[in-house]
Amino acid sequence: MLALLDKKLEEILLVAALAFIVILVSLQVLTRYVLDVSLGWSEELSRYILIWIAWIGTSYAVRVNSHIRVELIKKIIPKHLLKWFECFVLFIWFLFAFFLAYQGTILIMKMKMTGQLSPSIEIPMWILYLIVPIGGGLMSIRLLQKMYIVLSSKEREG
């Protein structure tokens, strides 16, 4: 089960969230044009879910190597240093992701104290902002996994 979560966690979350948005928007269209009733909260909830999709998508992109990167530097660096360069880049990226998770946690604690609610669905805003530390944390975990893979691979050594 843990291996399944390791390999499919982001995909499962992304597909479920996207399916929920499709259902929600379809329901909004159906109620607006067939029943002449508007679900005012559906647009706001869809927007929040889309933001969650973007944050979870960053972790997924790390796992499948889909982030944009500059290849020119990798072509200039000698092969025997390439592994260490990749680890350095991944480590800097990890620090950034960890910083996002840490600062996101601080933001959540501050938002909990304010008690602010979202405009139409009236969910506490701290719940909606939970994705910042979750996304940063997931990305940090994936980056640590990538560093381990790079360091343990033999093929990149000169």
Residue 120 and residue 92 in contact, taking contact as beta carbons nearer than 8 Å: no
Asked if residue 46 is part of any domain, the answer here is yes
DSSP 91-104: HHHHHHHHHHHHHH
What pLDDT does residue 2 have? 66
pTM above 0.75, yes or no: yes
Asked if residue 157 is part of any domain, the answer here is no
- Report, as an integer, the average pLDDT of 117-139: 93
Q: Which runs of consecutive H residues, i.e. helices, occur in 38-156?
A: 40-63, 72-76, 79-114, 125-128, 131-152
Mean pLDDT of the chain: 89
What pLDDT does residue 81 have? 86
Asked if residue 69 is part of any domain, the answer here is yes
Q: How many domains does the chain have?
A: 1
How far is Cα 136 from Cα 55, in angstroms, rounded to an integer? 8
What is the domain range of residue 136?
2-152
Cα separations in angstroms, 30 against 12, 21, 26, 49, 120 = 27, 14, 6, 20, 20
| Angle (CA) 20 22 26, round 5° | 120
Q: Is the pLDDT of residue 68 over 80?
A: no
Q: Is the pLDDT of residue 10 over 50?
A: yes
Asked if residue 58 is part of any domain, the answer here is yes
**Who contacts 85 (Cβ-Cβ below 8 Å, separation ≥6)?**
73, 74, 77
Asked if residue 158 is part of any domain, the answer here is no
Q: Is the pLDDT of residue 31 over 60?
A: yes
Catalogue the long-range contacts made by 106-110 (C-beta closer than 8 Å, 24 or more residues apart). Answer: 107/132, 108/132, 108/133
Asked if residue 122 is part of any domain, the answer here is yes
Asked if residue 105 is part of any domain, the answer here is yes
Q: Is the pLDDT of residue 130 over 50?
A: yes
pLDDT band for position 155 (cuts 50, 70, 90): low
Q: Could you give the angle at which helices 2-33 and 40-63 cross, rounded to 10 degrees? A: 150
Asked if residue 53 is part of any domain, the answer here is yes
Q: Nearest Cα to 137, choosing from 55, 73, 37, 64?
A: 55
What pLDDT does residue 158 have? 46
What pLDDT does residue 1 have? 61
